[in-house]
């Protein structure tokens, strides 16, 4: 008999500007899931079997840092799984790890490789704890401790980058020059800061936002879409641009995706 459990947790108020949510998933069924670029980095704790990603030819570490990606991938496992995931806002993982977001670009990095003693200690506590509710509390306390030692300059830089993210969420077609102005930075400074905090360049990240924005529209239109209207609403230059970008990011056109799966926007849907 298939047994699965999926639970979401809302972060405390102090962490909400940095952490979107936590989720816990367990299953005795071997999964084979196709996922799209979601636009948010994650830290993953695998309490049982880690996931294999054939597109990268790699198996996730028990402690994995999953960065920004620009491709879709399959997630597979050959045994039972139980995982706890921290989903960050697009620009905030730097607040908690002593490594730039750009070092995780298109990769699944072992958390043990960044040589963070306190993170390793947290992982050991999570793996020893049988109560996943308590595990989430342990993770949240660790995040709060990290937040408490960050300098004003670090916090300010993250808040400044938030202005660009909010603008992209509203209008993904916004020019890089206008994004840099919103952050009171030169174009060159802005691109450097953006890559440091988000993990990819602004134009590439805008592609992910447009794609996720289109998924959101499709998610709420119950399978009835007009590709021309979808392109206009989500910031694509035209319908051909929409179709071309969809094929690059998920291997489908918007119409063929409806036949393959039910669209769901991870970036624009907060489950808690």
Whether residue 210 contacts residue 248, with contact meaning beta carbons closer than 8 Å, is answered with: no
Residue 1 above 60 pLDDT? no
Q: Global pTM?
A: 0.95
CA torsion angle 110 113 116 121 (round to 10): 50
What is the C-alpha separation between 218 and 206, in angstroms, rounded? 18
Work out the percent of the chain whose per-residue pLDDT is above 70: 97
Residue 29: what pLDDT?
79
Output the six-digit token pair for 241: 């641009």
Residue 223: what pLDDT?
65
The tens digit of pLDDT for each residue in 223-246 reads 678 999 999 999 999 999 999 999
Helix or strand (DSSP H, E) at 185: none
Instruction: Please count the other Cβ atoms lying within 10 Å of the Cβ belonging to residue 168.
Output: 25
The tens digit of pLDDT for each residue in 9-38 reads 999 999 999 999 999 999 887 667 899 999
Output the six-digit token pair for 227: 């590709």
Sorted by sequence, the CB contacts under 8 Å of residue 101 that are 6+ apart come out as: 41, 67, 68, 91, 93, 94, 195, 196, 197, 198, 199
What is the C-alpha separation between 140 and 63, in angstroms, rounded? 16
Taking the chain, what is the end-to-end CA distance rounded to the nearest angstrom? 28
Going from the C-alpha of 13 to that of each of 9, 27, 219, the distances in angstroms are: 12, 30, 28
Nearest CA to 141 out of 194, 86, 91 is that of 86
């Amino acid at each position: 008999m298939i047994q699965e459990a999926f639970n979401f947790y809302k972060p405390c108020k102090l962490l909400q500007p940095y952490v979107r949510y936590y989720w816990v998933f367990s299953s005795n069924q071997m999964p084979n899931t196709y996922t799209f670029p979601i636009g948010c980095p994650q830290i993953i704790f695998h309490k049982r079997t880690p996931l294999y990603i054939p597109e990268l030819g790699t198996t996730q570490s028990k402690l994995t840092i999953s960065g920004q990606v620009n491709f879709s991938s399959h997630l597979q496992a050959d045994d039972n799984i139980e995982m706890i995931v921290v989903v960050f806002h697009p620009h905030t993982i730097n607040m908690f790890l002593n490594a730039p977001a750009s070092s995780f670009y298109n990769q699944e990095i072992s958390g043990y490789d960044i040589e963070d003693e306190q993170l390793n200690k947290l992982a050991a506590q999570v793996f020893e704890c049988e109560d996943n509710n308590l595990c989430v509390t342990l993770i949240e306390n660790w995040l709060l401790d990290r937040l408490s030692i960050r300098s004003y300059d670090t916090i300010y830089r993250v808040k400044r980058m938030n202005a660009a993210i909010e603008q992209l969420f509203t209008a993904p077609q916004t020019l890089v020059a206008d994004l840099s102005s919103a952050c009171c930075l030169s174009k060159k400074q802005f691109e450097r800061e953006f890559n440091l905090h988000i993990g990819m360049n602004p134009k590439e990240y805008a592609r992910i936002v447009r794609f996720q924005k289109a998924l959101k529209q499709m998610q709420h239109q119950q399978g009835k879409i007009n590709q021309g209207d979808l392109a206009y609403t989500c910031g694509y230059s035209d319908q051909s641009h929409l179709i071309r970008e969809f094929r690059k990011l998920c291997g489908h056109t918007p119409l063929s995706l409806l036949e393959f799966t039910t669209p769901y926007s991870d970036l624009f849907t907060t489950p808690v």
